[in-house]
Amino acid sequence: MLKKLLPCLVACLALLTTAGQSVSTEAQAADTPNIIVIFADDLGYGDLGCFGHPTIKTPNLDLMAAEGARLTQFYSASPVCTPSRAALMTGRLPIRSGMCSDTRRVLFPNSGGGIPAGEVTMVEALKEAGYATACIGKWHLGHLPQFLPTSNGFDSYFGIPYSNDMDRVNDAPKGRESFWNPKVEYWNVPLMRNFEIAERPADQTTITKRYTEEAVSFIEKNKDGKFFLYLPHSLPHVPLFRSKEFEGRSLRGLYGDVVEEIDWSVGQILDTLRRLKLDENTIVWFTSDNGPWLTFNDHGGSAGLLREGKGTTWDGGMREPSLCWWPGTIPAGQVNAGLGTTMDIYVTNLALANAARPTDRVLDGYDLIDMLKGKTGSPRKEVFYYRGTRLMAMRVGPWKAHFVTQESYTGNNKAVEHDPPVLYNLEVDPSEKWDVAADHPDIIDAIKRAAERHIRTVKPVPSQLEIPLK
């Protein structure tokens, strides 16, 4: 009898062992997903179909929203490029790393500074946790070798290292003319591969397409291991470029063509994940570095119902059209109004990757995974709105108090101090139209005290943006 049962027992035990292994591999895999962060440049809150744009068609981003979470109160940490990217990469307000300034708002080709070596970048932490890593796109955290992505934890880099409107050549038409009729030659920006310049001027008409091809190829090459892909698009920052296939497609004109090509790109990424059966093991974030550049008229985007745009601490400058997608883990079809910021992407990604979090410094992010799973509200209760080193406004729950307001780039550009602060309830009044300060002195007092507590945690560090190129 025992002889008869033995083979069966062995088979059962083998099955149990295999099942156990498979469960543990799956659990491990599910515990540490692949991570993709897609970061648009100057895309406004109102520029996607799923965020209400009537004539820009974004079927791929709309599908990503339908299959995941649309985050309606999600912020960048700054209304301009360099500080915003520094916060995403470090999980810290830019004032803590010195990646902001009151005199030079971003890094330029004649800047000698960049992301300090002492910062623990998201990618360094993920690399340490065993991830293959690639940065494809606009870096803007320093273009000297020691600041480039490949000196900050990325295995490879392909992209334009700063804004696509920099290195404007002297014989380009003056004023806005070169932006309205953009030619690749007007901007002598380099396209880099790792530490080398691969092309100059970069052919920006095919830049979105080439970033996408690189991204798909990176995913394919790393399909069997864990990977982190950071894909910060150079567009729709002005000057606007798109490839032949997208010329004249959008009812919204050139700007719409550019956004529709980025939408196509997102579709390519998600389709690649589906094709390789990685979709249930990959978290994909989509957001933007700052609001739309409104002074460029129809070449700038739209903040939708939000006030103002890029460069300001009104919500239009910092609240971003944001999505998070992870089929099977993040419930589909969510419209999630929980508060979030790009610094939370840092903390959430490190937690998902089981990566070690730096403990010797202040981090300004929260782990949002339970919120994204629909299990809880957001652990974040506050948002800080900085312009350079100055705390202009603070949000606590639905309440936003402006201590100082300043318009973006043109017109009345003087800082105006408010005492008492101007107060809006952003959940009732997302357009910041109705100052309710007089009705809520207690809320103003509480926000002022919270702002003072926050400022005490900020240690002054030298600005990296003010270091000239030697």
Interacting residues toward Mg ion by CB under 5 A: 41-42, 81, 289-290
Q: Which is nearer to Mg ion, 291 or 421 (CB)?
A: 291
Q: At its nearest, how many Å lie between Mg ion and the CB of residue 111?
A: 16
Closest contact distance (angstroms) between CB of 42 and Mg ion is 4
CB of 400 to Mg ion, least distance (A): 22
Q: Which of 53, 100, 135, 140 is catalytic?
A: 140
Q: Which is nearer to Mg ion, 41 or 124 (CB)?
A: 41
Q: Which is nearer to Mg ion, 44 or 68 (CB)?
A: 44
Residue nearest to Mg ion (CB): 81
Q: What does the H/E/C string look like for the chain? A: CHHHHHHHHHHHHHHHHHHHHHHHHHHHHHHCCEEEEEEECCCCCCCCHHHCCCCCCCHHHHHHHHHCEEECCEECCCCCHHHHHHHHHHCCCHHHHCCCCCCCCCCCCCECCCCCCCCCCHHHHHHHCCCEEEEECCCCCCCCHHHCHHHCCCCEEEECCCCCCCCECCCCCCCCHHHHCCCHHHECCCEEECCEEEECCCCHHHHHHHHHHHHHHHHHHCCCCCEEEEEECCCCCCCCCCCHHHCCCCCCCHHHHHHHHHHHHHHHHHHHHHHCCCHHHEEEEEEECCCCCHHHHHHCCCCCCCCCCCCCCCHHHHECCEEEECCCCCCCCEEECCCEEHHHHHHHHHHHCCCCCCCCCCCCCCCCHHHHCCCCCCCCCEEEEEECCEEEEEEECCEEEEEEECCCCCCCCCCEEEEEEEEEECCCCCCCCCCCHHHCHHHHHHHHHHHHHHHHCCCCCCCCCCCECC
Is 8 catalytic? The answer is: no
Beta carbon nearer to Mg ion, 186 or 293: 293
**Residue 296: CB minimum distance to Mg ion, A:** 12
Q: Which is nearer to Mg ion, 83 or 201 (CB)?
A: 83
For residue 78, the minimal CB distance to Mg ion (Å) is 9
* 440 is annotated as an active-site residue: no
Q: Which residues are catalytic?
A: 81, 140
